[in-house]
Structure 1
Amino acid sequence: MAEALRCGAGGIGGLADFLREYGEAVEWDMARYWPGRSLLELWRGTLSWRELKVFLKFLPPDSATARAVRSATPEDDTWTLDRHLLATVADAVRENTYALVKLQGDPKKTRRLKPPKPIPRPGVEQPKAGKVIRLGGRNPSSSKELAAAFRGGAAAQ
């Protein structure tokens, strides 16, 4: 947020340019984070340009002004780092549960059990269905297929 205030003209001229571009978001944030204050006070003379600059400089990253400056979509803002990490943990638990059921369960009952698909996330590609690794049964995977799968596709030497 502070970087956006520094680019372009400085001082009051820079703040005025900033307000022309992001004024609505600033108005929204003032109502949310500074109740009882308004941008109208700037024009009435009861709010100084310095107070406005300090207010803008310390807005949190999830503020409407910060989102407007970085042109963030609502979906981008919904998926924060902690939500990505939580989805990763949920995927890991589901994969471990699947592996445990497959390894400890009755092969006749778990034969058609499919591995869980990861939770879809914005900006993260869904993995494509690769070759299935078979650890036993009629047609187990060869050592070359297992080596290629665990090396990321490189063939075993």
Structure 2
Amino acid sequence: MAEAFRAGAGGIAGLLRFLTEYGEALEWDVPHYWPGRSLLELYDGRMSWRELRVFLKGLPLDSLTARAVRGSTPEEEQWTLDRQLAASMVDAIRENTFATVKIGGDPKKTRRLKPPDPIPRPGVTPAPSKNVIRFAGRHGSGAAQLATVFGGASRQ
């Protein structure tokens, strides 16, 4: 029983620290995920510390408490795994459509066609525009550009 009151990470002391830091979020989550219950029940003795610990372990990742613990921004929280996967599928379909049109289309009409930009995601900065190395036409063989990429001098 004495271990339950230790000042370490676990036990009632740990739950008290957790309540101090994330109590407002937990106050919202208890009635939301545990209908008919309230966090006030802990203080008037109708909820045990063990029940609170079990409840916390079972909270889903999208609960307000879990989001508060992660410290993520509201924009990041909107991008759930499902939304990330959906955006990846849309990007892949758009890239495939671009490649199909570019390969199967009339070169004169598709010459200026640019690949689609990916759907913007929070925390991901778009890649800087890449240098296009052209190997024919007005821009020469591209050997000078390749040499600068690989750090050597070109032989022309």
TM-score by length of 1: 0.77
1:140: how far off?
Answer: 6.8
Aligned to 2:125: 125
C-alpha root-mean-square deviation of aligned residues, in Å?
2.6
Q: Secondary structure at the match of 1:50?
A: helix
Aligned to 1:113: 113
Q: 1:22 touches 1:65 (CA, 8 Å); kept in 2?
A: yes
- The correspondence of residues 3-152 of structure 1 with structure 2, limited to 5 A, is 8-134=8-134, 138-139=137-138, 142=141, 144=143
CA distance in 2, matches of 1:67, 1:120: 22
1:120: how far off?
Answer: 0.9
> Aligned in 2, Cα 1:73/1:33: closer, same or farther, shift over 3 Å?
same
Higher relative contact order (CA 8 A, sep 6+): 1
Q: Secondary structure at the match of 1:118?
A: coil
CA distance in 1, matches of 2:20, 2:12: 12
Mind listing any 5+ residue stretches in structure 2 that lack a counterpart? Answer: 1-6
Q: Secondary structure at the match of 2:124?
A: coil
| Count of matched residue pairs | 145
CA distance in 2, matches of 1:92, 1:142: 31
Q: Secondary structure at the match of 1:86?
A: helix
Q: 1:133 touches 1:141 (CA, 8 Å); kept in 2?
A: no
1:109: how far off?
Answer: 2.2
Structure with greater Cα Rg: 2
Q: Secondary structure at the match of 2:29?
A: helix
CA distance in 2, matches of 1:62, 1:141: 55
CA distance in 2, matches of 1:102, 1:9: 59
Write the letter of the residue equivalent to 1:14.
G
> Aligned in 2, Cα 1:145/1:101: closer, same or farther, shift over 3 Å?
farther
Greater mean deviation of Cα atoms: 83-92 or 62-71: 83-92
Write the letter of the residue equivalent to 2:11.
G
TM-score by length of 2: 0.77
Mind listing any 5+ residue stretches in structure 1 that lack a counterpart? Answer: 1-6
1:110: how far off?
Answer: 2.1
Write the letter of the residue equivalent to 2:74.
P
Q: 2:135 touches 2:142 (CA, 8 Å); kept in 1?
A: no
Q: 1:29 touches 1:64 (CA, 8 Å); kept in 2?
A: yes
| Identical aligned residues as a percent | 61
